[in-house]
Amino acid sequence: MGRKLTGFVGFVVLLVAAVTVLAPSSAHSAALPGEALSNDVCLACHGDPSASTKLGNGKTLSLYVDHKALAGSVHAGLACTDCHSDITTIPHATRTFPDEHAVSLAFYQVCKQCHFAEYSRLLDDVHYAALAKGNQNAPTCVDCHGSHAIAPPAQPRSRISKACARCHTAIAAEYVKSVHGKALIEHGNNDVPVCTDCHRAHDTANPLSASWHLQIPQLCASCHANKQLMAKYGISTEVLTTYLNDFHGMTATLERTEKARPREFTATCTDCHGVHDIQKVNGAGMLAIKENLLTTCRKCHTDASANFPSAWLGHYEPSLRHSPLVYAVKVFYAVFIPFVIGGLVLQILLHLWRAVVNR
């Protein structure tokens, strides 16, 4: 009896040992067929800060995923395999990449599984066009939004401009010194435009094209014609109306209607105010604008004399306060022209009446 019990116990011990050896640890176990790997399984390796791999250019790429950052991401509810769907077993096959950007190029199309509307707009984007032409430095979704610690793009709004600054460093340096950039970066004013307000996000157009140049007045008017917004800062909302009523605005309207291309013949907002380095039009900024106005005019009107800028009324409607002489002439013609036309109509009617009576 003792020998039988001893043999049975030995069998059980051997069976438990075999199961222990053959079964993988829970942290590194693969999912059963048809099941997705849990995030805990992935983080068993990728939660190690020392996790990394060598790139083809000799640099080291970190494979570490911060668990807290991942939990605070907008994608916190997703599983790792929702994006890395090619990984179904542990350990998984290793992949080699020549550089950091090649990694984002390998994964950016995964985003369209959920964000197809944004991806569709991306097909008309200047960055996507550059990528399609073989520019390997063109940004992808991951370059702008990040990978595992993705936050809402407009929280805070300055995050958008900082994302663009990763590639457009010179332009970003101009922007932070502008009236818009200072208000946003230094004072946290969310009313001012960031990059995507003007250039759009997923369907960024080519800012060097003629069509873009002719759309700038309407682009600026999206803020500067907003009466409620401009009232907060005491800024006139007549800028678009006054522009469209003067020579430059009329020309821009005709060119847009006729789909003309000679952008050098039409001055829009950015030709006078600057693009990313826009300054205030009052205080010291106003003095600078007045001093440089002739230089600005001579960009197009090369033979402009010293008093040439005086012929422009700015963005003011003629009034007793601004350009009173022009205002007086405007009022005179507003009365005189109807009087003359009315007199002519009356004369014609009297002739017709006389002709009828004389019969």
Spell 42-78 as b/e; 16+ CB within 10 A means b.
bbbbbbeeeeeeebeeeeeeeeebeeeebeebeeeee
* Domain contains 279: no
Q: Other CB atoms closer than 10 Å to residue 272's CB: what's the count?
A: 16
* DSSP at 159: H
Cβ–Cβ under 8 Å, residues 206 and 126: yes
Secondary structure (DSSP) of 249-305: HHHHHHHHHHT---GGG---HHHHH-SS----SSTHHHHHHHHHHHHHHTTT-TT--
- What single letter denotes the amino acid at residue 77? G
Which residue's entry shows tokens 């790139």?
A: 55
Range of 82's domain?
Answer: 35-141
Q: Other CB atoms closer than 10 Å to residue 345's CB: what's the count?
A: 10
* DSSP at 58: S
* Domain contains 314: no
Q: Looking at residue 259, what is its pLDDT?
A: 56
Q: How many domains does the chain have?
A: 1
Q: Looking at residue 36, what is its pLDDT?
A: 62
* Domain contains 148: no
Spell 120-137 as b/e; 16+ CB within 10 A means b.
ebbeebbbbeebeeeeee
* Domain contains 61: yes
Handedness of CA 299, 241, 249, 204 (dihedral sign): positive
* Domain contains 65: yes
- The first and second tokens of residue 183, run together, are 């208000």
Distance between CA 162 and CA 184 in Å, rounded? Answer: 11
Identify the bridge partners of residue 144 per DSSP, sorted by sequence position: none
* Domain contains 357: no
* Domain contains 16: no
Q: Looking at residue 261, what is its pLDDT?
A: 54
* Domain contains 95: yes
Distance between CA 123 and CA 102 in Å, rounded? Answer: 20
Q: Looking at residue 285, what is its pLDDT?
A: 56
Q: Which residues of the chain register pLDDT less than 50?
A: 1-29, 32-34, 262-263
- What single letter denotes the amino acid at residue 349? L
Q: Other CB atoms closer than 10 Å to residue 227's CB: what's the count?
A: 9
